[in-house]
Structure 1
Amino acid sequence: MLIQTTQLEKKVQTSSGILHILQRIDLQITAGETVAIVGASGSGKSTLLSLLAGLDLASAGDVLIDNVKLSNLDEEQRAKLRADKIGFIFQSFLLIPSLTALENVMLPAELAGNRKAEQQARTLLQDVGLGERLTHYPNQLSGGEQQRVAIARAFVGTPKILFADEPTGNLDATTGHTIEDLLFEMNESSGTTLVMVTHNEQLADRCQRIFKMDAGSLTEVQKDVA
């Protein structure tokens, strides 16, 4: 099992008491699967994605990535696991303002010691329609263009798992469809496991499995295969 959670919980202390964001989530995802997580805003979807990627720590329960329990790793070890196996598309882009589009995409590959970082970054930016914007900085790009840079950055190095938080949420319809196709092409060609949070019903329906988050609880939606 590539991704597995057991009785996963996340709770925080607020002025009015303890807020339960995630409640006893059991989830299993095998290598190469495409999975969508849907649900209302504030239901816990993005929190779950952050826990699965080791960007945040659970209050209780376990997350295992490729049979490695994340709670047994320190921050440096979790960062190495992400660098080796995980790509992440953030809803808020998180591009480095002082780096060009090309440099932003190259960075994780360079940190991983990939000698073909620039070549791969150029190809990916071309794939997402930004071949003419390589030397532009984030403040010179539109929101949709910044999202495409973030998506190209997540693809570099061909991660084993790609987590995506609303990957097409800031894109126009045409560009969004292009990015959707790229996500699934990567899944098919490289066996990359896709786990995405989305409000886009059509995108969710393209995934093999759909889970719905409701008030911190996760249930699998039975797809109509007729």
Structure 2
Amino acid sequence: MSDTPQFLLEVRDVSKSVQGPEGRLEILDGVTLQVAHGESFAIVGASGSGKTTLLGLLAGLDTPSGGSIRLDGHPLESMGEEARADLRRRLVGFVFQSFHLLPALSAEENVMLPLELEGDAQARKRAREALESVGLGARRRHYPAQLSGGEQQRVAIARAFVHAPRVLFADEPTGNLDQRTGHHIIDLLFALNRDHRTTLVLVTHDNQLATRCSRRVELEEGRLVSPQGAIA
């Protein structure tokens, strides 16, 4: 019998609240959803709806105030920060609206960095292969300032995929790009999802983009208002 859990992500009745100057603020309330291995899953909602907070919880960057989250069978809410960080290194890739590239490093060196931190002797070779996969093999020695916004985001995608993560979390990945470049980046993300069977969890306010995912949920004031979070 396989030890692989049925779902890559299982979220049960998750809440998140913080203490503000005017009292307790509820950011998420009673969120339940499941994400299958290899699927593409969109979280949509207006600014302030809680979607980025939910993404951070799913990735183990924060812990919920209540409820449970399992990532590949691991209960994130009961794990310490060091254990969650180790899990992220092994299973998770990130692509953000801001590219988060180190300006003093070349494209190749930016992609190599997470592998070098793990002591991977094949870091340079794997980084070059990752850059080739996003069409930037010829630009590997260029620094971020020498690359366009779309090229920088492709470097960020190569860095996210270089360690073959189980899941890629993308938070408004086209927010700083023009429409044409943004469409190219999204096509690339879906191609990598399809070709590598990497689960894609996408946060966006763009409903048209969300319809490209196999499933989507909508958040409104911290609550799910669409019925597609759970798989029967």
The CA distance in 2 between the partners of 1:177 and 1:101, in whole Å, is: 22
Q: Is the 8 A contact 2:150 2:182 kept in 1?
A: no
| Structure 1 residue 180: Cα displacement | 1.7
Q: Deviations over 1:161-209 (max 9, x none)?
A: 1110011222233332222222122222221111000123332111010
**Letter of the aligned partner of 1:205 in structure 2?**
T
Q: Is the 8 A contact 1:209 1:221 kept in 2?
A: no
Shift in CA distance, 107/21, structure 1 to aligned 2, threshold 3 Å: same
82-91 vs 110-119, which moves further: 110-119
User: Is 1:14 matched with 2:26?
Assistant: no
Q: Tell me what 2:187 maps to.
A: 181
User: Is 1:202 matched with 2:208?
Assistant: yes
Match of 1:172 among 175, 178, 191: 178
TM-score when normalising by structure 2 = 0.87
TM-score when normalising by structure 1 = 0.89
| Structure 1 residue 116: Cα displacement | 3.2
Shift in CA distance, 167/91, structure 1 to aligned 2, threshold 3 Å: same
Q: Tell me what 2:3 maps to.
A: none
Q: Tell me what 1:53 maps to.
A: 59
**Letter of the aligned partner of 1:54 in structure 2?**
G
Q: For 2:27, what is the secondary structure of its paired residue? A: strand
Match of 2:77 among 60, 71, 84: 71
User: Is 1:155 matched with 2:161?
Assistant: yes
**Letter of the aligned partner of 1:90 in structure 2?**
F
Tell me the number of residue pairs that the alignment of Structure 1 and Structure 2 aligns.
222
The CA distance in 2 between the partners of 1:95 and 1:39, in whole Å, is: 27
Shift in CA distance, 221/7, structure 1 to aligned 2, threshold 3 Å: closer
Gaps of 5+ in 2: 1-6
User: Is 1:26 matched with 2:16?
Assistant: no
Match of 1:191 among 192, 197, 203: 197
Q: Is the 8 A contact 2:17 2:25 kept in 1?
A: yes
**Letter of the aligned partner of 1:191 in structure 2?**
R
| Structure 1 residue 88: Cα displacement | 0.9
User: Is 1:100 matched with 2:143?
Assistant: no
Q: For 1:206, what is the secondary structure of its paired residue? A: coil
Shift in CA distance, 87/23, structure 1 to aligned 2, threshold 3 Å: same
User: Is 1:138 matched with 2:141?
Assistant: no
Q: What is the Cα-based RMSD across aligned positions, in Å?
A: 1.9
Q: Is the 8 A contact 1:151 1:167 kept in 2?
A: no
| Structure 1 residue 115: Cα displacement | 3.6
| Structure 1 residue 21: Cα displacement | 0.7
Q: Deviations over 1:111-149 (max 9, x none)?
A: 344443322322333443433432333344444433222
Q: For 1:98, what is the secondary structure of its paired residue? A: coil
The CA distance in 1 between the partners of 2:172 and 2:46, in whole Å, is: 13
Q: Deviations over 1:75-99 (max 9, x none)?
A: 1111111111111112222223332
Shift in CA distance, 17/152, structure 1 to aligned 2, threshold 3 Å: same
Q: Is the 8 A contact 2:98 2:176 kept in 1?
A: no
Gaps of 5+ in 1: none
129-138 vs 3-12, which moves further: 129-138
| Structure 1 residue 20: Cα displacement | 0.7
Q: For 2:225, what is the secondary structure of its paired residue? A: strand
| Structure 1 residue 70: Cα displacement | 0.9
193-202 vs 106-115, which moves further: 106-115
Q: Tell me what 2:117 maps to.
A: 111
Q: Is the 8 A contact 2:153 2:185 kept in 1?
A: no
Q: For 1:58, what is the secondary structure of its paired residue? A: coil
**Letter of the aligned partner of 1:217 in structure 2?**
R
